[in-house]
Amino acid sequence: MRYSPRVDRIAGEGAAAWRIHMEAVDARQRGEDIIVMSIGDPDFATPPAIVETAVQALQAGDTHYTGIAGRQELRAAIAREVEACGGPAVTAENVIVLAGAQNALFSASLCLFSPGDEVIVLDPMYVTYEATVQVSGAKLVSVPALPDSGFRPDLDAIEEAVTERSRAIMFANPCNPSGVVLTREELEGIAEIARRHDLWVISDEVYGSLTFEQDHIMIAGLPEMAERTVTAASLSKSQAMTGWRTGWMVGPKELIAHAEHLSLCMLYGLPGFIQQAALTALGNARGEMDRMRDIYLSRRNRVIEGLEGAGKLSVVPSESGMFLLVDVRETGMTSLDFAWALYREEGVSLLDAAAFGSSTAGYVRLSYTLGDEALDEGCRRICRFVSRL
């Protein structure tokens, strides 16, 4: 039987990168002594007020179809959140509720790009971006941020990557896996390129509320950017709601209308009880975002301190989120070989950061979404492994 060429465009190295994580999860479920530091799934329980809202809505019978774009009340709350975070003045009509930020990015790709288009993506990038762009038939054009710069974006390289086929610039701010938070000057430089060449900007801001030393700035809030910017975000990381699949896309009203037609065919709206929980997350329970951010900052510092004894490793301090990049090049191993050897010898799973782009080859990504005891033990095992090399 034949399959569409599209199935090849949604596979590839990005999907294969998760093999070590999947194997580690299976081993842990079998009862093996495995420390999983390869995924950004918060160990916190979803805040009780959010869960209670969902339970009450379920008990009240909120289990039927909802509006495709999301309930007006929730969309308005998201619009207020955008403005409160420095974004443009938007209304509910600029918002569609979707099944996580990944679903928002995928929907944006299908609504904006055509075969033959080029999408400039800042590298390092999240592993699904390649498939997310290519599913539309567009070509991903990677622009690496060099390690020597601290993985900061190279504005000159972005400008040089623009061709007559270019359609958009896509990036995560803050970045997964580097944790880099773009400065106002960097965002203004990207915005100027987008305006000059009439490009869309797709900004993945799922970690926007989890920045440490500097504030997160929304590129959509810069002059003349609201009508050419698509912002994807969610509650997955900031409120420990990964399994709730609650996210959104914010953009021009015409784009949101197109995304609603796509969702009609693909998602048909989120469950009502989940939308009610999201309202609580953005309302009475919003302070939980600050609490979780403070915990992640403490954990970041704890891991950096815990790896100080691993002489052949160099840790890149993250500015946000729940990940650290660790440079393993001095070990003489590739990042893939390092990750697998560490897992097999010490039972610690990290992700080969080369899956995030050419700029992070030779690095592994470490997630600090575990409790202090597990983080300390993971660091001890990593140091012990490196000491034997």
Choose among 359, 334, 380, 309: nearest CA to 37: 380
Q: Which residues contact 235 (CB under 8 A, 6 or more apart)?
A: 241, 244, 246, 247, 278, 281, 282
Listed as ranges, residues in the chain with pLDDT below 50 are none
How far is residue 303's CA from residue 9's CA, in Å, rounded to a whole number? 36
* Nearest Cα residue to 110 out of 100, 120, 119: 119
**Cβ neighbours, 10 Å, residue 117:** 17
pLDDT recorded at residue 6: 84
Yes or no: say if 108 and 230 are a contact pair by the CB < 8 Å rule: yes
Question: What's the pLDDT tens digit per position in 51-67?
Answer: 999 999 999 999 999 99
Q: Cβ(170)–Cβ(133) under 8 Å? A: yes
Residue 309 confidence (pLDDT): 83
> Beta strands of the chain (E only): which ranges?
35-36, 95-98, 118-123, 139-144, 166-172, 200-204, 229-234, 247-250, 314-316, 323-327, 348-349, 351-352, 363-367
Contact of 20 with 343, CB cutoff 8 Å: yes
Contact 248, 282 (CB under 8 A): no
Distances in Å between the Cα of 128 and the Cα atoms of 95, 98, 134, 192, 358 are 23, 17, 10, 27, 15
Which domains are assigned to the chain?
6-45+288-387 (3.90.1150.10), 61-282 (3.40.640.10)
Would strands 363-367 and 351-352 be described as parallel, antiparallel, or unpaired?
antiparallel
What is the reported pLDDT for 18? 81
Residues 86/217, Cβ–Cβ less than 8 Å: yes
> Which residues, at least 6 apart from 156, have a Cβ–Cβ distance to it below 8 Å?
none
Q: What is the pTM of this model?
A: 0.94
Question: Which is nearest to 233 in space by CA: 261, 203, 258, 264?
Answer: 203
> What does the pLDDT read at residue 12?
61
Query: What pLDDT shows up at residue 62?
Result: 97
162-174 pLDDT, tens digit each = 999 999 999 999 9
pLDDT in the model for residue 78: 98
Residue 40: what pLDDT?
A: 85
Is the link from the previous residue into 124 a cis peptide, with omega within 30 of 0?
yes
Residue 245 Rama label (left phi>0; alpha psi -120 to 50; beta): left
DSSP string, 216-235: ---GGGSTT-GGGEEEEEES
